[in-house]
Homo-oligomer: A and B are copies of this chain.
Amino acid sequence: MGKGEETRSMILDAALAQASEAGFESLTIGTLASRTGLSKSGLFAHFGSREDLQIATLDHAAQRFIETVMTPAMLAPRGLPRVRAIFERWLTWTQCREIGFGCPLHAAAIEFDDRPGKVREHIVAHFERLQSALERALTIAIGAGDLRADLDIQQTVFEVLGIIFAYYHNARLLQRPDAARRAEAAFARLLSTAQPAI
Contacts and interface: CB of A to CB of B under 8 A. Distances in A.
Interface of A: 21-23, 25, 100-102, 106-107, 109-115, 120, 123-124, 127-128, 152, 154-155, 158-159, 161-170, 172-174, 182-183, 185-186, 189, 192-193
A114 B128 contact: no
Copies in the complex: 2
8 nearest A-B pairs in the assembled complex, by CB-CB distance:
A162-B162, A162-B166, A165-B165, A113-B173, A113-B172, A158-B182, A25-B25, A161-B166
B127 A173 contact: yes
A143 B183 CA distance: 26
A102 to B, nearest CB: 6
Chain A at the B interface: mostly helix, strand, loop or mixed?
A: helix
A165 B159 CA distance: 10
Nearest to A161: B166
A109 B111 CA distance: 11
A182 B157 CA distance: 10
A158 B173 contact: no
Contact of A174 (B115, B127, B189): B127
A159 B181 CA distance: 12
Contacts of A100: 114
